[in-house]
Copies of this chain bind each other. A is one copy, B any other.
Amino acid sequence: MTTRQGRTGSLHVTVLVFPGVRLLDVTGPIEVFTSANEFGGHYVLSLVSADGGEVTTASGTRLGVDTAADEAHGPIDVLVVPGGPAWDRLVKDDELLDHVRTLHARSRRTASVCTGAFLLAAAGLLDGRRATTHWRNTRELGLRYPAVQVEPDAIFVQDGTVVTSAGVSAGIDLSLALVEEDYGGEVARSVAKDLVVFMQRPGGQSQFSARTRPPHTRRDSLRRVLDAVAADPGADHTLSAMARRASISPRHVTRLFCDEVGLTPARYVEQVRLEAAVALLEGGDDPLAAVARRTGFGSPESLRRAFVRHLGVTPGAYRAGFRTTGAVHALS
């Protein structure tokens, strides 16, 4: 089968692995490219490590390796750089970063999975590019590498020849996109159905992120306001109500928020209300109208608009996706 780029031969996929690599970051993409071969694709896969020896993944499972990184030669069509929980240590491993750079130089496209984005960033490959990583680490990526334009909600982001993906299973989504680019939608769709995954997920990765922690502040007036919002997100938290509570002017409230929280008072209140609604939807059976009322959204329609704007899905779809696996009663 000829690729959309007009290629007829094999496409070479190289996965760079290392001790402590996250297992599913590696095996999700491998399964996608292998499955594509059942539907007309011609991917040839190889795993490379620094010394060519097998690696023990973060889960303890050991993966066989085909070649040492500096013994691998020839052009690469897709270089996959997975992540691992110890990314913090990995970005100081100069030998590993050298391998990333050398392999990238031979690659038509370089793709990171999860915290693999930190390896690309540390190797200088994300400077000036848009990129994403696991939702838990998007903030850290931007702080450490200010030249990277982080997209915190994306499942994957392509910028030129570099593609970065969100956490763990998003490596499957990213690989499907590369298959679609190489062999078209019909092949990618066959792979998605073979693996029993969607081609495109409802909503972005924000719906998977955990609660944000309450902001720290030593200003008593701001502290009182933040505590009041946390204690009862559904109460009156207009700017004037906040100002009365803190015994300062509305203008001063706004300034304190911008300086210490980094959000306007209204944005902050909406965020806390959204998180309260998320918790109620995940944990309980309250009707949407009750959730909307208790969390200060007022109407189900306002709740719906906030969910779609921030999470890309409706409250009902969110509840269906996250309340339970649906098996608790059946299983016990």
Q: Which residues of A contact B (CB under 8 A)?
A: 4, 22-24, 27-28, 30-31, 34, 45, 47, 54, 56, 58-64, 134-136, 155-156, 158, 163, 166-170, 172-173, 176-178, 180-181, 185, 188-190, 192-202, 205, 208-210, 282-283, 317, 320-328, 330-332
Contacts and interface: CB of A to CB of B under 8 A. Distances in A.
Copies of this protein in the complex: 2
Given A324-B199, A324-B200, A61 B30 contact: yes
A101 to B, nearest CB: 22
Nearest to A4: B332
Closest 5 pairs (CB-CB, A-B) = A62-B64, A177-B327, A34-B59, A177-B325, A167-B196
A325 B180 contact: yes
18 contacts: A23-B30, A23-B34, A24-B28, A31-B168, A34-B59, A34-B60, A45-B60, A158-B327, A158-B331, A168-B195, A176-B325, A177-B326, A185-B323, A190-B210, A200-B323, A200-B326, A202-B317, A202-B320
A189 B325 CA distance: 9
Nearest to A172: B169
A120 to B, nearest CB: 17
B181 A196 contact: no
A89 to B, nearest CB: 17
A195 B24 contact: yes
B59 A64 contact: no
Given A185-B283, A202-B202, 14 more contacts: A30-B59, A45-B61, A135-B196, A156-B327, A163-B331, A167-B195, A169-B172, A169-B195, A173-B325, A180-B331, A181-B332, A192-B322, A196-B205, A202-B317
Contacts of A189: 282, 322
A190 B282 CA distance: 11
A168 B180 contact: no
Contacts of A176: 325
Given A62-B63, A327-B156, A198 B23 contact: no
Contacts of A320: 200, 202
